[in-house]
Structure 1
């Protein structure tokens, strides 16, 4: 037998052994870390589905099991990854989980969804970036607030959201979307009180968000969002967001003076003010963002 034929047989044997090797949860853990844990981890995981541990995955969500051992065709995890159930996961897709990785998940479930070896060292692995407790985070770049938005907001405010088209065109899956204008500006860099995103999560503006609350964001999460906006809403690279000069805004809140909205000064020169609103009234303000982040009002009315 020639040397080249021997080498070919050896390579074929190695490939066959690798293809037939059993896949375990431990093998798939990096896949979940890359695509799922930004949302599905910790106490705020959507529907209680936590994918940061084998037990959490097998416990499923508040709607039931997502993995049925030995039954890939009956496993909701696969349906979501393939887009057979909506919304397709991850919510930040496309890009979606690669087909070859989805096939690995299917083989794992078909083989009985084994856990595999889990050593103490593996259990002590640091959490993926962005998942550290708030108290351990430093700085106010987008990577620090992204987990909050992805866990609590992107389920609706994304192209792949549970409500179909994102409400009012507001998408919150990436920095570019959050600080972009879309139909209106949701963030005015440097001015939290002019930012509809902050006003909604605090409850100053109604309806309070996220829409499926309570529970709403906790005080630490709201404070982090406020600091991030006040710092200029910087992106992952630390670069401040550009001021959306001229962008439309629609703000809800209470008049705290003539003219201020929850302490936010308003430029009402030339504005249409309807029904003579009084201090303390809940009102709607429509206007545009000035070069310095100020709000030039076009219309103000009680709600």
Structure 2
């Protein structure tokens, strides 16, 4: 019983407990971290399209950092951006496919490695093979984990805080599921209805300008199809749970008028006081302003030729 131990023994016991929860800095090398980088980071941070040029697929690239500078500071984990992102003290928290994020034990290893001066360790792990892109099983649903690497590689470079264009365009961030589904100003994703989702319409080129803004090249057909499936299947989170509909949220649809109340085949529900400007006819490129109804369809409040 701990209450029968001498006070000096209790202090020693507590010290040992505290010590066991800490990773000895001198024992951690890049060789120990490479498997974590490989399984949790290189889905996005590898190859020429790595966000901000930050490749985390080799020791040399980790030390090199991003186009904005180093992400690890030798001997100083507190100011190392890598640690700040893993802990969430800098946003967006990484990896972007989380939650779940890295465990406290895994983060402690990175912390200890930087504190120890970032030793490389085994030469054989200096260039770890990047993890393959996550794909859904043929009989399984598409979840956020499957599409997050695509958004990170192609979209988050601008649609993030302090991105290539400074502030995210129109305040829209694509750095987490919460931000991707945000309808604070308007809904860009309508779970269950990809055709009504501005995100989908932009990457397909239905809406102008097509995204990503620095394309071509744009997303591949397979990448687009995966995002379309994800939205149509309910924009499921990493655990496979469908996301709620943003009922009543405003939204914007750009495209070609393809019928009296349709845009590129997307059927609209005209509002009682629908406003039509500039006399659009079938084939015209138009902008629709409206709201998300409880069944995921679009109530059009204004249609105008662009």
CA distance in 2, matches of 1:22, 1:198: 47
Deviation at 1:193, TM superposition (A): 0.8
CA distance in 2, matches of 1:186, 1:101: 38
**Superimposed CA distance per residue, residues 68-104 of structure 1 (whole angstroms, 9 cap, x where no aligned partner):** 9xx849xxx9467569xxxx96633699998966654
- What residue in structure 1 maps to residue 143 of structure 2? 141
Deviation at 1:115, TM superposition (A): 3.0
Q: Does 1:92 align with 2:90?
A: no
Deviation at 1:179, TM superposition (A): 2.5
**Does the aligned pair in 2 maintain the 1:170–1:182 contact within 8 Å?**
no
Q: Does 1:202 align with 2:207?
A: no
CA distance in 2, matches of 1:169, 1:65: 25
- 2:185 pairs with one of 183, 188, 197: 183
CA distance in 1, matches of 2:168, 2:25: 43
- What residue in structure 2 maps to residue 153 of structure 1? 155
Secondary structure of the residue aligned to 2:252 is strand
Secondary structure of the residue aligned to 1:50 is coil
- 1:259 pairs with one of 255, 258, 261: 261
Q: Does 1:37 align with 2:42?
A: yes
- What residue in structure 1 maps to residue 30 of structure 2? 25
Q: Does 1:289 align with 2:261?
A: no
CA distance in 1, matches of 2:190, 2:206: 16
Change (3 A) 1:264 1:202: same
- What residue in structure 1 maps to residue 303 of structure 2? 300
TM norm structure 2: 0.72
Secondary structure of the residue aligned to 2:56 is coil
**Does the aligned pair in 2 maintain the 1:200–1:208 contact within 8 Å?**
yes
Q: More deviation in 92-101 or 284-293? A: 92-101
- What residue in structure 1 maps to residue 4 of structure 2? none
Question: Gaps (5+ residues) in structure 2?
Answer: 1-7
Secondary structure of the residue aligned to 1:271 is strand
CA distance in 1, matches of 2:245, 2:68: 45
CA RMSD of aligned residues (A): 4.0
- What residue in structure 2 maps to residue 214 of structure 1? 216
Deviation at 1:21, TM superposition (A): 2.8
Secondary structure of the residue aligned to 1:215 is coil
Secondary structure of the residue aligned to 2:228 is helix
Change (3 A) 1:90 1:180: closer
**Does the aligned pair in 2 maintain the 1:204–1:253 contact within 8 Å?**
yes
**Does the aligned pair in 1 maintain the 2:247–2:296 contact within 8 Å?**
yes
CA distance in 1, matches of 2:245, 2:24: 53
Deviation at 1:292, TM superposition (A): 1.5
- What residue in structure 1 maps to residue 247 of structure 2? 245
CA distance in 1, matches of 2:248, 2:25: 60
Change (3 A) 1:79 1:192: closer
